[in-house]
Structure 1
C-alpha cells in the first residue's frame, strides 16, 4: 500500500505512531511531494503539536505555492491559537488556490465572527450552508450572524433547519425563543425557551429570557 494512504488509514484508527512512520517513509521516498508534508502536518495538529504542524504546512507551500490544503491546515492551527487574523489570511489563500469546500467557507466565516466583522462573515457562512445543507454548526452560526443584523425571519429559518436535524440543540431553541420574542410572538417564544430548558435545565440565558417574558405578561 502507498505510504500516504497507509498513514491516513492509521491516523483514522487513532494509530498516530504508525501514521507518523508511514508519512516519514513517504517523505523519504519523495521529498518533493507536498501531500506528504500536508498529511504529516494534519497528524501533528491532531496530536496537539501546532508549531511543528505549521512547519510541515510551510514546507508543503514552499514546494507548491498552490497547495490549497496546506493553507487550510495552517489556518486551522492559527484559529485554534485564537490568532483569527492570521487564520483568516490562510483561509482566504486556500480559497484563492481553489479549495472550494464548505469547511473553508465556514472557518473563514468564523474567523470574521471572532474578529467582530460579522457583516463580512455573512456570505461565507451562507456559502458553507449551501455547500453542505446537513452542517448544523454552519446553519446555527449563520443564523446567529443573521440575527445580529436583525434579519430575524432569515435567522429563524436557519434555527428551524438546525432543530429539524438536531432536536436536542438547546442553543437553537433558545435563539428561536429570542427571535420570536423580538417579533412579539410571546407564546411561541415561551414554547421555544421551555424546550431549551427541558434539554438543558441549566441554560442560564434561556431561563433568564423566560423570566423576563413571564414578568412582562404578568
Structure 2
C-alpha cells in the first residue's frame, strides 16, 4: 500500500523506494514556504493563494495515484507545478511518476529542478542518485549520494556508503568491459573521484580510457592536459613517481597556466629530497630540493601568481634550507592571497614559528 508521509524538514531524513514502492509527499519546505518570526507568510496574498491551489493539486495527485489513475495523477502534479513552479514537492512527485513510467529524462529534469529550488531536499537527492545509477551515470550518482551522507543519521550514512561502494563496483565492471562511455568530461570526473576515494589503480584505468578518447577525437588541449594531470596524480598515489612525473610533465607542456602540475611535481621532488636527507645523501637531497623549488618558481613566471599552495610550498622549501626571511615572505604572501586557506592549513602557525626562528637566530 502506498504511504503518504508528510515531507520531512530539510535535513530530517529522506524516503526510499522499497520493493518497488513509490512514496509521494504532501507538503514541503521550499524557499517559498518560509515564515517570518511572527508566523506571517513572506509571500504575498496572490502567491499564497497559488501555493494553496498547488497543494490541492498535490493532494489530488496522491489520491489519484492511490486509486491507480496514474495518467490523471501525472496531470494533477503538472497542474501543481503550473500553479507554483517553485514548489519542490510538486516537481519531486511528478518526477517519481515519470520514473515509474520509464520516462527517465523528464524524471531527471524534475528532480534537478526540485534541488534547484531546495538544495537540501534529501528525497530529491536520493531519487536523482538512483535515477543516475539506472542511466549508468555513475560519477554523477555518487556525488548525490555523497551529499546525502553529510546530512543524514549515522545509520543511514552507513547504508549510503554501502550503496556508493556498490555503484563504484558497477563502474569498475563497466570499465573492464570497455563500456564506460564516451563522455570524456564524465570519465575525467570519475577518475578524480576514484583518487579521492583511495582507488588510484581504478583511476589510472579510467584516465587511460579518457586519454584514448581524447586522442581519437583530437580533443582540445585543455581536456587533454586534464586527463594527463589526472593520470599523473593517480600514479603519484600509487607511489609510481617516475610515471607520475612523466604524465605531469606532459600535462605541463600542454597547459602552463594551471597550478596543479607544478604543485604535484614539486611535491614529488620535495618528498624525494626528504628521503635522501633521511638516508644521509645530502647532495642528492639538495638537488631534489632545487628541482622542487624550480617548478614552483616557474609557475610564478608563467603567471600562476594567486595560488596560496604555491607560496605555502615555497615557504616550506625555504624552511628546509633555513632561509627564514624568504620563508616568512612566502607564508605572508600565502595569507595575503587567501586567509581561509592559511587558516585551514596552519600557515599562521608556520608564520609564528618562522618569526620565532628569526628571533632566536638574532640573539
TM-score, normalised on structure 2?
A: 0.41
Q: Which runs of 5+ in 1 are unaligned?
A: 1-15
Pairwise CA distance, 1:146: 0.9
**Conserved? CA contact 2:139–2:189, under 8 Å:** no
Q: By percentage of residues, which structure has more helix?
A: 1
Aligned to 1:3: none
Q: Does the CA-based 8 Å contact 2:252-2:261 persist in structure 1?
A: yes
Q: Is 1:89 aligned to residue 166 of structure 2?
A: yes
Residue in structure 1 matched with residue 143 of structure 2 by the alignment: 76
Q: For the residues of structure 2 that align with 1:56 and 1:149, how far apart are their CA atoms?
A: 33
Q: Which residue of 2 aligns with 1:100?
A: 181
The CA deviation at 1:33 is 1.8
1:211 and 2:325 are equivalent in the alignment: no
Contact 1:79 1:111 in 2 (8 A): no
Q: Work out which of the residue numbers 189, 208, 216 in structure 1 matches 2:292.
A: 189
Aligned residues: 190
Structure 1 residues 33 and 139, CA gap change in structure 2 (3 angstroms): same
User: What corresponds to 1:34 in structure 2?
Assistant: 104
Secondary structure of residue in 1 paired with 2:257: coil
What does the per-residue CA deviation read over 1:9-62, in whole Å, with 9 as the maximum and x for residues that have no partner? xxxxxxx97xx98xx69x77x94322221333344456634530432454x58x
Query: Match of 1:13?
Result: none
SS of the residue 2:308 aligns to:
coil
* Local SS of the residue matching 2:198: coil
Distance 2:236 2:191 in 1: 15
Alpha-carbon separation, structure 1, partners of 2:142 and 2:307: 36
The residue aligned with 1:54 is: 126
SS in structure 2 opposite 1:100? Answer: coil
Tell me the SS of whatever aligns to 1:32: coil
